[in-house]
Amino acid sequence: MASGATTPKLKGVPKDRRVAFKDLREWIAALEAEGQVARVTEQVDWKFEIGTILRRTWDIHGDASPAILFENIKDYQSPAINKLFAGTFRSWFRTAMMFGMDPRNTSRAEIIQMLKRRINDRSEHIPPRIVKTGPVKDNILLGDDINLEILPIPHWNQRDGGRLVGTFHTVITKDPQTGWVNCGTYRMMMMDCNTETGIQLDPASQHIGEHYYKQLEEDKPMEVAVVIGQEPALGFMSCIPTVDPLNEMEIAGAIRGEAIDVVPCETVDLHVPANAEIVLEGTIHPKERKMEGPCGEYPGYYGNIPGPKPVFRCKAITYRNDPIFRGTLEGHPINEDHMTLAIGHSVYAWDILERNSIKGIQDVAMPLDSCGYATCVVSVRPLVEGHAEIIASALWGSKATIWAYKYIIVVDEDIDPWNSEQVNWSIAWRVAPGEDIHIWKRHRGSRLDPRVPPEDKGFQDHMLIDATRPYHWAPREIWGTEGVGKGIPLKFPPSTRPASQICLDVNKKWDSYGIKPTKEYMGSPEGMMRHWWTDEEIQRVIDLKVMP
């Protein structure tokens, strides 16, 4: 998929070609074979420089940004732990690779559908496989030997309150009553003591919060394992929300087509991937708090002030020989986690709509430029008047509204919700502002919204833009499918979308015209309505399967 490409209409999920990457190292080797990794051998400072390098790479190279392996970190010379890997998922190409899909012939919509199927088809979930030992047990530190500063933990942003141990890790916890295991990613900042970190968790909206709340009721510490440097499927699944309380390790097994090998921890009753690079074991007491923050947040601002957070106390460190630390940078879009959250939240929103029996949904997109959180665009074939309001009510009634869905835009089925140009075109000419824009005041919302003053954190105004053609309009003969007074009367003026045999004939002869793009250009080399010109799409309009 080329940078800047539009998403063609979904034609079905490709045939499975699942790939079980054994560990992070095998994943890096596969990426290198595809030219997707940059190795930085120049010495870099863990304090600010690594973060600045990543920021410049993503800001300038965008979707063409490589993953980066830093191999020479200041203060961490060999044989110390001296490697850091970042940027796997700042790329649709690499995300498709992780799913076993052909990255050169895969659309964003197909990636969303693939993940949706992997999450919801529980018959394909593969539980982890317990083994006796693995590379993660090469080195075991206990008691007084524990020191988190042996890890090349970056201080990513200059305004961050400290070094972030956990940014693209997997935090494993277990329900004390049912045994349900959750794997998630929750920010962890080092504290003054080199055996403690803060942890960002929310009892109201996160699955770890459900485990945490039960421990709070029993006044008992919660056992935790923190996996750093896992194979890619578990890392991806740890970042995204699911509607149901599922074990993300089993979904990762479905993505891979093979179980993840796990070993028991040394000090807590949990299992961790045998081939992980690093594991931190410890506990979180639900009543203990220490000051933590601030950090650059996912909207791209420092929206939160320092505050009291739960404390993770490390009881053991296990790691491979010559381990690779895994992390990522948070901040303005587009980051690695924005990509994973955009994909994950799109599936989550789609699931919410389907579970509320809302019909006609064609596609759901959480645009990357709004960080995979703030804006949700839903493509729908309208079936009733007020269809857009039904969609908004379902999404705003879900627990994800605490973080996402500040803006909901509903478009017709002919609009690709991942294509911002098409969405803007739809807003410009299918919206009557006084009729189709609705604002709901002071909803529960993201406390990280920089536009909300500190005293009102946790509340937002929400907006729905109904950018669908007006459902209640009567058909008019002047808008005939074949011209004024000709063909089938339509409810809305027909567009200039190609829909004739002439268009199909031009497609057949296109190569003979000798028209080539210029070698130099500004902006995207691909047009806003590129997918309209496939034979299939032209025929769909001719057959009135899509309104002209």
Which of the residues are catalytic? Answer: 297
Q: How far apart are CA 322 and CA 391, in angstroms?
A: 50
Residue 234: which of 246, 220, 248, 221 has the closest Cα? 248
The count of other CB atoms within 10 Å of the CB of residue 105 is 10
Between CA 417 and CA 380 the distance in angstroms is: 10
Separation between Cα atoms, residue 19 and residue 102, nearest integer Å: 12
Helix (H, G, I), strand (E, B) or coil at 284: strand
Backbone angles phi, psi at 139, to 5 degrees: -130, 135
List the one residue out of 8, 246, 36, 4 whose CA is nearest residue 125. 246
Provide the H-helix boundaries in 192-231.
207-218
Note the Cα 289 to chain centre separation in Å.
29
Residue 105 in 3-state DSSP? coil
Tell me whether strands 278-292 and 222-228 are parallel, antiparallel or unpaired: antiparallel
CA–CA separation, 542 vs 548, rounded Å?
Answer: 8
Measured distance CA(88)–CA(417) in Å, rounded: 24
| b/e burial code for range 505-518 (CB count within 10 A of at least 16 → b) | eeeeeeeeeeeeee
329 close to 339: Cβ distance less than 8 angstroms: no
Q: Is 386 helix (H, G, I), strand (E, B) or coil?
A: coil
Residue from 368, 388, 378 nearest 348 by CA: 378
